[in-house]
A and B are shown apart, each in its own frame.
Chain A
């Protein structure tokens, strides 16, 4: 059975988990404030300590979220990396979709017209 790919969506599966292990492990270390400081003090040395490959190190240097995901990053761990630069998931969303943050937020806001129908239970039964 062939599973249809989902456009614009990268499942964090075994291939990604294997490929991204070092990158995600580094990001996981950012739960600790001392590690965040150590990264800021010397990014390259910190990446080297976790054994990131060249693709991962370039994506880290460029703060490129799609490249980080292509390199095996999982967004839950990448969020800790982004947090070092005070970037939230809307900043990440704007970057990945090639829009400005206000445009990204406006797109989310455009769904608000459905709020009342879902709240009243009128949408799924249509």
Chain B
């Protein structure tokens, strides 16, 4: 039986990829950020996932506006990364888990979440950077199931819908007959805004509310509209939808927070990493 072992959520700022490539982990600007990951890696060493279901948003590598799925699930045997135009290193292809992917697809569509299915999918920095943060010596010793959420073009799925979608994925994982230890990896956020006269907007109070609510009251986040979230967290702060979806996958009632780090600024972003386990 597949077993959900926990949820790791982390920022995926592209500049992190540049810092990894230039080995800036001990640089004063970067150290408080990178110091947040050894405790996460210790947790991983104890908990040994075989499969990572990674919930993220594509930034214009795999999807363009010609075809923009609200929810898409990868169902490939492997996934490549590729040039995104501004020079962060690409990583080796990662292994997929097509059996689990299709089990999830069948499960969620049976629950009326009519997702787009992808037998080819390129993964951008929103997947590659979190994998590099968790397994810096690479390649990641896990199989990956990518779940893409549209946070780019409005209307995006509501927080309530994302939570329910995640819960449906979680039920499909729990029903999967194969043996697998499954980690949920949600990426993006927290508050940040890249565009407009309000560029540089950050909201630590709302970030704190999100981190706390994800532990024991995700329904509180489901009560917001996407317009509320943009107002409170910035245009790209909407990436919290990936964390909310992931929290739905983790399921259960209140979770236990094993670890968190929070650091402003990384580039234009309030960065965070959080590890949750089911109680």
Would A8 and B268 be within 8 Å (CB), given that A74-B152, A83-B85, A111-B202 are in contact? no
Question: Can you name the residue of chain B whose Cβ is closest to the Cβ of A119?
Answer: B262
Describe A's contact surface by its main secondary structure: helix
Size category, A interface: 35 or more
A108–B195 CB distance below 8 A? no
| Besides A69-B196, A114-B205, 12 new A-B residue pairs in contact (Cβ under 8 A), listed by A number | A8-B198, A13-B153, A74-B65, A74-B153, A78-B195, A88-B15, A88-B267, A92-B199, A109-B264, A111-B204, A114-B264, A124-B209
Q: For residues 82 through 139 of chain B, which have their beta carbon under 8 Å from a beta carbon of chain A?
A: 82-87
B267 contacts A12, CB within 8 Å?
Answer: no
Flag if A115 contacts B65 (CB, 8 Å): no
Q: A25-B65, A79-B85, A82-B86 are in contact. Are A69 and B195 (CB under 8 A)?
A: yes
Q: B260 contacts the other chain (Cβ, under 8 Å)?
A: yes
For residue B270, CB closer than 8 A to chain A, the reply is yes
Interface residue stretch chosen among B56-64, B71-79, B164-172, B177-185: B56-64
B64 touches A28 (CB 8 A): yes
Inside 8 A of B152's CB, which chain A residues have their CB? 12, 74, 76
Q: Is the interface of B mostly helix, strand, loop or mixed?
A: loop
Q: Tell me the chain B residues, 196-249 only, with Cβ under 8 Å from chain A.
A: 196-202, 204-205, 207-209, 211-213, 227, 230-231, 234-236
CB pair B194 A93 closer than 8 Å? yes
A89 to B230, CA, bound (A): 18
Interface residues of B, count at CB 8 A: 54
Say whether A66 contacts B83, CB under 8 Å: no
Inter-chain CA distance A74–B238, complex, in Å, is 14
A residues within 8 A CB of B195? 9-10, 65, 69, 75, 78, 92, 96
B: residues with CB less than 8 A from A are 14-15, 32, 59-61, 64-66, 82-87, 152-155, 193-202, 204-205, 207-209, 211-213, 227, 230-231, 234-236, 257, 260-265, 267-268, 270, 272
A80 lies within 8 A of B60 (CB): yes
User: Smallest Cβ distance from B67 to chain A, in angstroms?
Assistant: 12
Q: Decide if A11 is an interface residue (CB 8 Å cutoff).
A: yes
Determine whether A24 belongs to the interface, using a CB cutoff of 8 Å to chain B.
Answer: yes
Most chain B CB within 10 A, of A17, A75, A125, is at A75
